[in-house]
Structure 1
Amino acid sequence: MANNLTKIIAGLLIAIAVLLGIYAWMLGRSTQNAAPVQQPVAASPVPVVIATRVLPAGQPITADALKIRQTTPVPTGAFADPSVLVGRVPAADIPASSPVVAG
């Protein structure tokens, strides 16, 4: 009698394990496409001072060497007003078409 009961319980446990395995497989398959894709938020452009030509180190910056361009990823230390930079001396060469930043 105890031997038959053990066989029945073992059969039920195997059936439950198979059903749980199928359920887990279905959950794993459905979550691959269920995650919503977030669209990147477009930031509004900000005015940044850009060098119109190469600004050599050790020479004062002139007003005609600077222009303002609207850009979205604002560089750290970027300037928005070119008049602040006129007459300042860069410590390193600033390439043409690159933002002028502090430091």
Structure 2
Amino acid sequence: MAEPVSINIDGESCPVICARCKEPIFFIGEVDTEVGEVGCTACENVSPVKEAAREALDFAKAEAQLRLNQTLKDEARKSKFMTFSGQLSHNRTYRFLVDF
């Protein structure tokens, strides 16, 4: 069986999963990182590999920012002098996610 698709984030290999069903994605057909297709055959969420990688990286960046924002909000809540007004949830939907 083929290995699930993963991306390298800060030196760590992170699996890419389908946003619809939360299952790992795989190459569809021939494994080709330049022009191949990846996706979830169970729910037919398929995309060119470069598009899926870009989407997964966009998600990872947004998720990291949201986690930082949540930490800042929690700290601001403890203070009488600080407030927080940043974003705490994703403002778009993603087809592919990174499973941290």
Comparing both structures, which one devotes a greater share of its residues to strand?
A: 2
Q: TM class by shorter-chain length?
A: 0.3 to 0.5
TM score, norm. by length of structure 2: 0.33
Between structure 1 and structure 2, the one with the greater Rg is 1
